[in-house]
Copies of this chain bind each other. A is one copy, B any other.
Amino acid sequence: MKACLINGMLIEDSTHAIDVMDRGLQYGDGLFETLRVANGAVRFWDAHYARLQSSCERLDIPAPTAIQLQNEASQVIGSTRDAVLKIIITRGVGGRGYRSSTKSLPTRIISLHDLPIALPLDGGIEVRWCNTRLARNAQLAGLKHLNRLEQVLAQNEWRDDSIAEGLMMDTEGELICATAANVFVVSSGVLVTPDLRFSGIRGVMRTQVLAAAQTLRIEIDERALWPDELSTASEVFVGNAVRGIRSVVKLEQQTWSVGSVARSIYEHLQLSQ
């Protein structure tokens, strides 16, 4: 971690920073955003803030203002050119057991981290299937909340660095996402992505990809996606806010090339910059 601000205070000792009774720790009672700092600016800030605000609303946690968050983000970023910015909002401290106190003040944690080593789109990535399934709950679907044990268990299924991501199904067998990215499939020229009505995170990059596709007049279909549809797909790619878009070139016995749809969206979103 490069820097961290908690409730507006710069943290000098990150190892003794959080209240042991914070509901984020006690129950996973909160949400987060992971943002890409590129050339000193936060990419897709408005989209991240809009999602944070709507997620807070769904969980009934008061959202910080955009101005406050933006000021604090700037303070943490300083003169850093390229990094990952993480914002956590928890319901704060207080309440008796699971029930929160109406008087609790949310906790705001804004931290800056080194960028993971990224490969250009052209390389493509190898992915695998995860055994860990995603539970279905429409009430929580789409939210980037702090209950992420399924993703942790899924990523812990492999340690081979040549495999960059794992695809996850929900408990009914629908293909939902990669462990830390949304998934997109091109089939008969149509860009298909899971509708996330029961599980998965509605990623900021997902929204950007769909908007770019619309501008580029690529037909879009948000619907239930099943694993066997990969066998007839002409392209598969994954996307998240930090790593942008990455084409899948290998999944077990299946292989693909980096396709024209991924490439045109990648270029349209200027993700190489």
Residues of A within 8 A of B (CB): 1, 4, 6, 11, 13-29, 32, 59-60, 88, 90-91, 93, 96-100, 102, 109, 111, 116, 132-140, 145-156, 159, 171, 179-180, 199
Contact = CB atoms under 8 A, between A and B. Distances in A.
A155 B97 contact: yes
Contacts of A139: 132-133, 150, 153
Contacts of A11: 20
Given A22-B25, A99-B152, 15 more contacts: A13-B16, A14-B20, A16-B17, A18-B20, A18-B25, A26-B32, A26-B88, A27-B146, A27-B148, A27-B149, A28-B148, A29-B152, A60-B156, A97-B155, A99-B156
A154 B179 CA distance: 27
A19 B16 contact: yes
A146 B145 contact: no
A116 B198 CA distance: 36
A192 B32 CA distance: 40
Contacts of A180: 97-98
14 contacts: A11-B20, A18-B25, A27-B28, A27-B149, A29-B148, A29-B152, A91-B152, A98-B148, A98-B179, A135-B140, A136-B136, A140-B150, A146-B149, A147-B147
Contacts of A171: 136-138
Of all A-B residue pairs in the complex, the 5 with the closest CB atoms, nearest first, are A28-B28, A135-B135, A147-B147, A135-B137, A18-B18
Contact of A147 (B6, B14, B138, B149): B149
A80 B26 CA distance: 23
A57 B13 CA distance: 32
Contacts of A159: 102
A132 to B, nearest CB: 6
Contacts of A154: 98
A184 to B, nearest CB: 20
Nearest to A102: B159
A15 B155 CA distance: 31
A152 B100 CA distance: 7
Contacts of A136: 135-136, 171
Given A1-B20, A18-B18, A180-B98, A140 B149 contact: yes
A12 to B, nearest CB: 11
A156 B199 CA distance: 22
Nearest to A141: B135
Nearest to A25: B25
